[in-house]
Amino acid sequence: MDEGGLNLLNIKAQNEAIELTWLRSYLDLTPKRPMWAIVTDILISAAAPPGTLAIARMNMFIQKWKPSTRGPRVMILGDETLRMLKITKKYNTNLGAIRLSTNVKAKLPSWYHPGTPPRPLTNVATKCLLKKHKVSTVAELIKLANKAQAQNRSQDHIPALTCICRDCVHERLGGCKNPHACAEEALERLHEIAPKYNPLEIELHDNLSLTHRRKMSNKNAQDRGGDILLDPTITCRNSLAECFRTFVDPKKLSLTPAYHQ
């Protein structure tokens, strides 16, 4: 009152803060994720644009597709999910981390990837990767692409349709008609990923992260209420849940990883 306010609660701001809290729980893409978040994934996927493939969709926040928020498909979402999506748009929640570890990059989806140019999922090899090999993450692309790279090629694998190496025979038993072609397709898609998200890029260390010894000292200090040393790292190292940011200017998102100079 002394500063000119009416000393009243801003209900709108409070409700938006609650929605952002729910959004944070939804974006906890770890095994601890609540069941309602998994159900929300299903609802959002059901409202996805008709041109996207259900088998390739994982989560709109880590892929290049958005659900319909107008028209008949919006009825699928429900009021709660729709409110969350509107808050997402209003406060620009994005995959805004400026640097990701190789481990985290490998957890990103292989399809509708945020760091690749748009590309149809219609050729024979891509359909086989989706339906026969069940590829869904970048890590699975890497595993499949290994034999297509000369330096990783086993002595008994030959880059041909007729290859009878153990891996190719196993993949044929799974329904794949041309394992080497699928490996080549996987490798090609990996090479399309922008540097910030590409696990094949050499990871340069900027020596910003605390050593294991200092991290343990911080943990001990936290347990006894002592002083904690700031960890200046800019790299998301453990999970995709670390990589989301709110109040992000979409025009300033870069596909190049940040480095300390």
According to the model, what pLDDT value does residue 208 have?
A: 67
From the centroid of its chain, how far is CA 227? Answer: 34
CA–CA separation, 146 and 24 (whole Å): 36
Mean pLDDT (whole number) for 105-120? 95
The residues spanned by each domain of the chain are 120-191
Sign of CA dihedral 17, 19, 20, 24: positive
Sign of CA dihedral 112, 115, 118, 122: negative
According to the model, what pLDDT value does residue 152 have?
A: 58
Judge contact between 128 and 156, C-beta under 8 A: no
According to the model, what pLDDT value does residue 1 have?
A: 47
Residue with tokens 């696990």: 199
- pTM of the entire predicted model: 0.85
According to the model, what pLDDT value does residue 75 have?
A: 85
Output 121 or 204, whichever has higher pLDDT: 121
Q: Which residues lie closer than 8 Å to 165 by C-beta, 6 or more apart?
A: 147, 154, 156, 157, 158
Long-range Cβ pairs for the range 33-38 (8 Å, 24+): none
Sign of CA dihedral 119, 124, 130, 134: negative
